[in-house]
Chains A and B, each alone.
Chain A
């Protein structure tokens, strides 16, 4: 990154037509250098070290860790519950967004705050309050503590806002006139939904679902008190990483972490592809 690079005229090197030249001024270039250095110290190098640690043990450690029945079961449970929760979020999130945008009733403003509570509430507190209502001392008489249902419940709580917040702005842009036109031309409610509304909402639902899934597979704090972390029953991948760290086995911890990171990265790339498609068509 050359700070004074402006017009490379007269050079023999051919620039690819789509690549833009750097427009950095000298102070901006210094700022960028400082920023990227800090970002590398804080985020990039530590995360890269996880991959090195996992790769350093060779495929042996990797396969051994994944071959461990308890670890495999934890990863399986995590992915299964995250997918299940994402499915519920796709339906309920879209419905909640619909009610927030199209319905009018007293106290709707409060709903906006309630939707965001899972974002702002510390995860350990989320686990504690869910345990109070759905644990052994439940006033409802429902006790899911220490079962796989508790994982489902905790993930449902922490991922609540993602689909709602992704769908809401798109729904606001959607003109009711188009639906009225469809209806006046004889389209049923179902047809209007399938042909008009759903195609416009699909990209935002997909991006919300991706975020919800990525958050679901990485959740830790809300589960420690609620799920009991029973092997083969309610132990998730993050808890498995944590016990590997406590047992001073960073290679195995890194192997599981690499799988979580890969899935998270895949989710981000998918998200970017979706938003690019939306921009192109929008």
Chain B
């Protein structure tokens, strides 16, 4: 009769210890040990990080990643907050279909995303190639395409965080503000934005982590040209395959650092949101 031994202060049974050990062992071998190796391989035999930061290809790629992720996150934040407000606050034809479609990017393979953008905006036989030629805009094998691919993969993350909070807070405060004469923008800035701010921060941090780490879609649309369209994740692959393992691990270390920092920020923020 001990299915939940530690609940309500009961003494742990052998079954509890067995479950705990199994879970800890599983996570250690699947996640903790492998991920910790990125640190030992970067600093184990000399400081590969310092060397990698002297490598122009690595430096360029890291800068490129930061710029691309910044724009993708900005686009997704504006789009995400707007869409969340529309979905929660209004009724319109096709809303449930739109709602379902907005989740699509999370389930589509990055390679398929790359292929889709290539078919639409490819320079030679892309569907929109004539239009892009006319306005002299190169999307594929260039920065706009990389930003689009990155925005695509992380599109639903802000929406998924903001929508539940908007649903929960309801419209009473907004209606009160409106009845006291506040305009639409003022109501949003003074009432709506403060109440969704933690959800928004959470969504932005997740989008940022996802954007910095995108690989498959970017590999296809960028053309993977060193020091022109190469992002940090692409450099990891190239350096590894070129037997510059140190540089590959050092770049991975930077990416891991950002990913773990993002998770820690989010975990620290979560209880705060619940306490308010």
Q: Give A contacts to B, CB under 8 Å.
A: 1, 19-25, 27-28, 31-32, 34-36, 38-39, 42-47, 49-50, 53, 92, 95-96, 98-99, 102-105, 109, 111-125, 128-130, 132-134, 156-157, 160, 176, 179, 183-184, 188-189, 192-193, 197, 211, 214-215, 217-221, 224-225, 237-239, 241-242, 245, 250, 253-254, 257, 260-261, 264-265, 267-269, 272
Contacts and interface: CB of A to CB of B under 8 A. Distances in A.
A1 B93 contact: yes
Interface residues of B, number: 92
Contacts of A19: 93
Given A50-B115, A257-B115, A264-B107, A129 B79 contact: no
Nearest to A217: B109
A176 B7 contact: yes
A36 to B, nearest CB: 7
B263 A116 contact: yes
25 contacts: A21-B91, A22-B93, A24-B92, A39-B155, A43-B101, A43-B105, A43-B155, A47-B116, A50-B115, A50-B116, A95-B22, A103-B19, A114-B27, A120-B209, A120-B213, A120-B260, A121-B35, A121-B213, A133-B33, A189-B3, A197-B3, A225-B237, A245-B220, A267-B107, A269-B100
Q: Which 4 A-B pairs have the closest CB atoms?
A: A122-B213, A218-B109, A46-B116, A221-B215
Contacts of B83: 35, 39
B236 interface: yes
In terms of DSSP, what is the predominant structure of the interface of chain B?
helix
B32 A114 contact: yes
Interface stretch (B52-60, B117-125, B189-197): B117-125
B92 A1 contact: yes
B62 interface: no
Nearest to B220: A245
Contact of B115 (A184, A250, A267): A250
A106 to B, nearest CB: 11
A179 B91 contact: no
Among B4, B7, B24, max chain A CB count under 10 A is at: B4
Contacts of B112: 47, 50, 218, 238, 241, 257, 260-261
B108 interface: yes
B110 A220 contact: yes
Nearest to A225: B240
B6 A124 contact: no
B155 A42 contact: yes
A35 B86 CA distance: 10
A117 B260 contact: yes
Contacts, number: 274
Among B26, B34, B41, B267, max chain A CB count under 10 A is at: B34
A214 to B, nearest CB: 5
Interface of B: 1-4, 6-8, 12, 16, 19-20, 22-24, 26-27, 30-35, 37-38, 41, 79, 82-83, 85-86, 89-94, 98, 100-105, 107-121, 127, 148, 151-152, 155, 184, 206, 209-210, 212-216, 219-220, 232-233, 236-237, 240-241, 248-249, 252, 255-256, 259-260, 262-264, 266-267
B120 A49 contact: yes
Contact of A220 (B85, B210, B216): B216
Contacts of A134: 34
B263 A117 contact: yes
A47 B102 CA distance: 13
Given A22-B91, A43-B105, A99-B19, A122 B233 contact: yes
A139 B189 CA distance: 55
Contacts of B26: 92, 96
B263 A120 contact: yes
Contacts of A105: 20
Contact of B7 (A45, A102, A184, A269): A102
A176 B37 contact: no
Among A19, A53, A257, max chain B CB count under 10 A is at: A257
